[in-house]
Amino acid sequence: MIVAMSLPVHVPVLLDEVIAGLRPQRGGYFVDCTVGLGGHAAAILERISPSGRLLGIDADPEAIKVSQDKLSDYGEAVTLVNDNFVNLEAICGRYHFHPVDGILFDIGVSSLQLDTAERGFSFHLDAPLNMRFDPGQGLTASDIVNSFSEQELAKLIEKYGEERHSRRIARYIVQNRPIATTVELASLVEQASSGKRAKIHPATRTFMALRIAVNSELQNLELALKQIINLLRPGGRLTVISYHSLEDRIVKQFMRYAASSCLCPPGTVICRCGHVSTLKLISRKVIKPTSLEIESNPRSRSAKLRIAERLN
């Protein structure tokens, strides 16, 4: 996702692949669980109008405001809701969106959030440690950095950031508290990582771990995915874009589980598990951006798309 803050211009990731996966047609009902700046939503609405409807959800109220402006030409065909997709089934019930023809998740942080200094998502912009998708929620990155024990910090950074220097980073953080800003924290993490520069900034994994923890991203994704089976009509499509291995692993395991016809141990002669497959895998291999897309939109480089279809 690319954003110029003076005039929001949004380049949605894997747009052609998402549209091919969702197959939006006139009159269809679709849910964009992470509407962001409205790029994917606009492409869907273009294909389902005038009789189709789209429900757009986002935990970030600023994203909802931008999407309202971007999608205003579609009038009553679009409904935008400032809420977390962990409440997906309840939101769809509230707005009579059931069953639907397609559901999209574009997981992770948006350019609107990364490029707004006061949101505290980026170590390239000096700002208070925030990292909340929903500015109204309680826990911030500052709360975690300045109050968690060294052991808790190390575990969090290792688990969510997959950071091999997690213990050393946690020790540096605790020894130098209080830490007030993103640049302060990034500098400490760089020192703890022996100052070595790799392909990515040494603070990247720590910042990602804090963001995931602040927003309960992985837990919310798991809970939301379990709700899509009750919402999709037979033949409806689920498309999910993720940006790192922990998210993608959750999506892959969910889709494979839902697509399995039997969960009995290997070698079982008669199936006794009673499991019934509810999804069919459309993309058995993960779909990634082309080199041309990565060149034009570097933030798409880690994107992974998976697609599944609801069975009868």
Domain boundaries, the chain: 15-112+218-310, 122-215
> Is residue 217 scored above 60 in pLDDT?
yes
> Is residue 110 scored above 80 in pLDDT?
no
- What's residue 116's pLDDT? 64
pLDDT band of residue 197 (cuts 50, 70, 90) is low
Q: What's the rounded Cα separation, in Å, for the pair 301 and 136? A: 31
pLDDT band of residue 291 (cuts 50, 70, 90) is very high
pLDDT band of residue 196 (cuts 50, 70, 90) is low
- In this structure, of 6-20, 122-136, 197-211, the range with the lowest mean pLDDT score is 6-20
Q: What is the mean pLDDT of residues 232-261?
A: 95
pLDDT band of residue 136 (cuts 50, 70, 90) is confident
Q: What is the mean pLDDT of residues 139-160?
A: 97
pLDDT band of residue 33 (cuts 50, 70, 90) is very high
- What's residue 5's pLDDT? 41
> Is residue 14 scored above 50 in pLDDT?
yes
> Is residue 184 scored above 90 in pLDDT?
yes
- What's residue 246's pLDDT? 95
- In this structure, of 47-51, 87-91, 113-117, the range with the lowest mean pLDDT score is 113-117
Region 122-215: CATH code: 1.10.150.170
Q: What is the mean pLDDT of residues 208-220?
A: 95
> Is residue 8 scored above 70 in pLDDT?
no
Percent of the chain surpassing pLDDT 70: 92
Find all residues with CB under 8 Å of 231, minimum gap 6, and list them. 31, 88, 89, 92, 97, 98, 99, 100, 103
CB atoms within 10 A of CB 134: 15
Q: What is the mean pLDDT of residues 24-31?
A: 97
With tokens 């990582």, the residue in question is: 193
Q: What is the DSSP string of 134-193?
A: STTSS--HHHHHHHS-HHHHHHHHHHHH--TTHHHHHHHHHHT----BHHHHHHHHHHHT
Instruction: Decide: pTM greater than 0.85.
Output: yes
Higher pLDDT, 230 or 312: 230
- Say yes or no: do domains 15-112+218-310 and 122-215 share a fold: no
Q: What is the mean pLDDT of residues 244-265?
A: 91
pLDDT band of residue 296 (cuts 50, 70, 90) is very high
15-112+218-310 CATH choice from 1.10.760.10, 3.30.200.20, 3.40.50.150, 2.40.50.140: 3.40.50.150
Q: What is the mean pLDDT of the chain?
A: 90
- What's residue 112's pLDDT? 66
